[in-house]
Structure 1
């Protein structure tokens, strides 16, 4: 399976000619719609999904499915986008991709800001994209797409979360809120946790890796 990291939280997974799009939000370039069988949205914040991104994908791929928690279904309903609602413990098969879903709530940003639905996705039992939450799946995670900068993120808590998952490989995502200096600092802390036994790969937007 190939993973192409786009800007911020969006990733495109390719396997056997089919493509799965994760979290196409408003900080990401228009996603290439070729061969998309599904879109997984972890939560309804606009940096993770916009109706325009999803509508472009569905217009080019009428058979593609959109999957996400109930809050995503509510957010996209006014635009006529049907969402297959999932939550913690659910599973789906989309084209060649086997998906299991983990977690149900977004991390707390501030006591004044409501906590919304957030459900991470584990793809083919290997690659975990958590959305905006420190969810630790009850199964091993080989490759972790690691949020590295966010209003809800404190680097010490992030390090503890990554240590609890103990992935063999990790790559940072959700970096648009950081300066170049800040990204370097946070990636350094990520390496401290992962690299004694595993590997961290830093992907620029548009870069592809194989998992």
Structure 2
């Protein structure tokens, strides 16, 4: 499977001419990421994870495209896409389904707490082909599953470095790559990634940076 990272939280997965995109948000190169995609997975409603106008346009231009998202996102897309042909699906935690030829399992349920006065929204973590796990904005650890490739939210308004490291240690995937890094400069990135790389290695996780549009086989 080929994994391509785009800016911030968006990744594109490709295998056997099938294309799956996770979290094409407003911080990312959404049009490029969505080109030729057969399916989109959305973790939650925040704009850095779902660029609604871009996804609606992709639905209109690509009759093969299917979108899976939490109910609030699915309802917004349905309202704005008008006739979606039943291609927009609401997703809950604990689900198993297929999207664009990929086997999907869902975990979690809610976004990590930002502040008690900021409402918590639904958040779905997606495990793709029992391999790649994208947690969205949470540190939920998939239960009963050995994740092979972990996408790590390395920086967010809702986290601290210790929580990022603990998440990597808890999942113990052989490989880990960054997501949710759009707000970091190089100095901050170096600090966070240094801790993740050093401590993660003690527990069997090899962390590597992926730049925008950079790809890796997983």
TM-score, normalised to structure 2, is: 0.92
CA gap of 1:31–1:194, structure 2 versus 1, over 3 A, is farther
The match for 2:160 is 154
Structure 1 window deviating more from structure 2 (60-69 vs 18-27): it is 60-69
- 1:35 match: 36
- What CA deviation, in whole Å up to 9, does each residue of 1:138-161 have, x standing for no partner? 111111000011100111112112
Q: Which residue in 2 is equivalent to 1:207?
A: 214
What is the SS of the residue equivalent to 1:36?
coil
Please name the residue that 2:9 is paired with. Answer: 9
Equivalent residue runs for 1:129-144 within 5 Å: 129-138=134-143, 139-144=145-150
Query: Deviation at 1:10?
Result: 0.4
After TM superposition, the structure 1 = structure 2 runs for residues 19-168 of structure 1, keeping only pairs within 5 Å, are 19-32=19-32, 33-80=34-81, 83-138=88-143, 139-168=145-174
Deviations 1:106-161 (A, max 9, x none): 00000010000000100000100000001110111111000011100111112112
Offset, 1:7: 0.3
1:34–1:60 contact (8 Å) kept in structure 2: no
Instruction: Give the superposition deviation at 1:183.
Output: 0.8
SS in 2 for 1:177: coil
CA contact under 8 A between 1:102 and 1:137: conserved in structure 2? yes
CA contact (8 A) 2:38 2:66 kept: yes
* 8 Å Cα contact 1:144-1:171 kept in structure 2: yes
What root-mean-square deviation, in Å, do the aligned CA atoms of Structure 1 and Structure 2 show?
1.4
Supply the distance in 2 between the matched residues of 1:27 and 1:184 (Cα, whole angstroms): 21
Cα offset, 1:75, TM superposition = 3.5
Are residues 58 and 184 of structure 1, via their aligned partners in 2, closer, same or farther at CA, if it must alter by over 3 Å?
A: same
Q: Distance in 2 between matches of 1:192 and 1:159?
A: 10
Paired residues for 1:182-193 under 5 Å: 182-193=188-199
**Contact 1:5–1:204 (8 Å) recurs in 2:** yes
TM-score, scaled relative to structure 1: 0.95
Q: Secondary structure at the match of 1:109?
A: coil
Is residue 2:184 matched to residue 1:178?
yes
Asked if structure 1 preserves the Cα contact closer than 8 Å seen for 2:30 and 2:51, the reply is no
Over 3 Å off, 4+ runs: none
Structure 2: tracts of 5 or more residues without a match: none
